[in-house]
Amino acid sequence: MKALLKNIRDTYQARAARRLLGRMGGEAKGDATAQPLLILMYHRVLPEQDERLAFEEPGMYVTPETLDMQLRTLQPLVRFVELAQWVRARREGRPLEGGDGRLCCAVTFDDGWLDNYEFALPVLRQHDVPATIFLATGFIGTGRTFWPEQLNRLLKLAAALGPDSRAKGSLEHFISSAGIKPDSSRYANKEYAAEVIAACKQFTDAQIYQFLDDTFAHLKQDSELSVNTAEEMLDWHQVSAMTPTFDVGAHTVNHLRLNEAANPADVDAELDGCIEAIHSHLGSPPALFCYPNGDVSDYARTAVEQRFAAAVTTGNGINQANDSLFALKRIGLHEDASNTPEAFLAKLYRGAGAS
């Protein structure tokens, strides 16, 4: 029954989405400098049978088939543009070349996942769709992975550990202090892992990485489990090979959340270090920025405005002519909510804030 209602709702909202996208494109035709923009937000692209999915949150990926379907579904409805080109035209107050009465749409990928090279690049090339990838440069070519993925992996490994394990003790102490009740029987469960990750966002990144480093060290000493991680992030050769289909934007060095807890010197270092890394590896500095986790303090906002031409958030919506270039809204897409054309368009409709 629930599935049936969802289908009815999706069909209705998908139809509304087609009308909305058509109308917004038409409005832009009247005033070509006031070009609204739909931005799609992706993270990972992984096939359903890929073992990397075992350690991933459900909201973090689409399959290559789903990405292909989404681009095919949108192709007649929108005009795919490179985000940096749209930003340049907006800043210069001129219309974007080649306007054809369809709503502009930019595609973005966050973080710098290796799977973007393996699975997103071929699909984008096939459809001739440009994209922007926002790199957390401290993870590019270094073998490091982000704390949510490490924590997910640790939970799965801990499910197989005995009660005397120091690593398990350390994990349970940490998640208790985050306000989550340790429950060994649910460690391998994705929903439980998502709860733990959400709760841990109250800690600073430094605290979380310290805990993970200590706990993985215990695990290596105490158990026979293989704790080595597969390469998950891009290296700079792959990043180079992804241009010009991908334009490269900045996403800090260490994926630091730029909220009130981040001190100003760290914010500056994270932004400058990221710009410097991209500039030195690719030959030109990034024009665009993406706030990690969507967090931004007043200080960080000003620091970003001083260094970049525009910045994207995790806030939902379609960008209108007078919206700020430093808080560009995006609609996040993931496999669960958008793996059929109807569900995908319905998700866009809801993300546009039109429902």
**Least CB distance to Zn ion at residue 200 (A):** 15
**Least CB distance to Zn ion at residue 54 (A):** 20
**Least CB distance to Zn ion at residue 114 (A):** 15
Q: Is 149 in the site for Zn ion (CB under 5 A)?
A: no
For 305, list phi and psi in degrees, rounded to 5: -60, -30
Residue identified by tokens 């710009």 is 275
Nearer to Zn ion, 110 or 266 (CB): 110
**Least CB distance to Zn ion at residue 295 (A):** 10
Nearer to Zn ion, 20 or 193 (CB): 193
Residue identified by tokens 């998502």 is 194
Distance CA 16, CA 349 (A): 7
Distance CA 172, CA 170 (A): 6
C-alpha triplet 72, 78, 80: angle, nearest 5°: 80
Q: Is 270 in the site for Zn ion (CB under 5 A)?
A: no
Which of the ranges 34-42, 287-295, 320-328, 344-352 carries the binding residues for Zn ion, by CB under 5 A? 287-295
Pairing mode, strands 61-62 and 246-250: unpaired
**Least CB distance to Zn ion at residue 328 (A):** 15
**Least CB distance to Zn ion at residue 44 (A):** 11
Nearer to Zn ion, 81 or 136 (CB): 136
Omega cis (within 30) before 36: no
Which of the ranges 33-41, 68-76, 227-235, 288-296 carries the binding residues for Zn ion, by CB under 5 A? 288-296
Nearer to Zn ion, 68 or 110 (CB): 110
Nearer to Zn ion, 292 or 332 (CB): 292
Question: Which parts of 102-131 interact with Zn ion (CB under 5 A)?
Answer: 110-111
The total number of residues written for the chain in this structure: 355
Distance CA 208, CA 201 (A): 9
Nearer to Zn ion, 196 or 256 (CB): 256
Nearer to Zn ion, 138 or 292 (CB): 292
Nearer to Zn ion, 25 or 292 (CB): 292
Tokens of 115: 């799977």
Give residue number: closest CB to Zn ion: 110
Question: Which parts of 292-321 interact with Zn ion (CB under 5 A)?
Answer: 292
Distance CA 313, CA 328 (A): 6
- Binding residues with Zn ion: total (CB under 5 A): 3
Please give the helix or strand (H or E) that residue 41 lies within, else none.
Answer: strand 37-42
Cβ atoms of residues 109 and 43 within 8 Å: yes
Which of the ranges 182-190, 192-200, 226-234, 291-299 carries the binding residues for Zn ion, by CB under 5 A? 291-299
DSSP annotation of 46 reads -
Nearer to Zn ion, 286 or 292 (CB): 292
C-alpha triplet 47, 208, 159: angle, nearest 5°: 60
**Least CB distance to Zn ion at residue 266 (A):** 17
**Least CB distance to Zn ion at residue 1 (A):** 37
Which of the ranges 175-183, 207-215, 286-294, 312-320 carries the binding residues for Zn ion, by CB under 5 A? 286-294
Dump the DSSP string for 214-255.
HHHHHHHHH--S--PPPP-B--HHHHHHHTTTEEEEE--SS-
Distance CA 270, CA 338 (A): 33
Burial class of residue 235 in the structure, from the number of CB atoms within 10 Å of its CB (0-12 exposed, 13-18 middle, 19+ buried):
middle
Give the footprint of Zn ion on this chain (CB under 5 A): 110-111, 292
